[in-house]
Structure 1
Amino acid sequence: MHFKKLKVRPRKNVQAIYCAKELSNMLSCWAATDDLKSSAACAQSATALFECMRTAPMPAKKHRPSINYHLARLNKYLK
């Protein structure tokens, strides 16, 4: 199919990555200890990650049109 007037805009949204530092610290602690069952060694990293995840701002969900909306919109190009 070829549409002459159809334009697609690329997404320009840059999402903020919250708690990446804390997650990295916890994963590196797990890699250094080689024993995931001993949580005492990495308890401080786990607590810091938990607190960061608990207080991180949640992004607001934006309404996205459904596939039926897009099909109805593109129907005029298919004829």
Structure 2
Amino acid sequence: MEQSETETTAESERKRLVRSKIHVGLAALGTLSSVFGIGIAIIGGINFDRTRVLIGVGIIVVSTILYVSMLFVAADD
């Protein structure tokens, strides 16, 4: 009986650790893709290319939505 409780506790800690790592990975991905979008928008602005600017802004918006959505996910679930 005690053995299954410790396994359950260890398993729940492991799942929590994996979720935490996924959150950190998604945060890093959101941040890096935002930087990538900023770079594309700057290059498009320098070359007077409206399409590149809009693509860069789109990437920035999507990565910001990804990053902000992670703030509303409960870490304990």
Task: Name the TM-score, length of structure 1 as normaliser.
Answer: 0.35
Larger gyration radius, structure 1 or structure 2: 1
Tell me which protein shows more helix as a share of its residues. Answer: 2
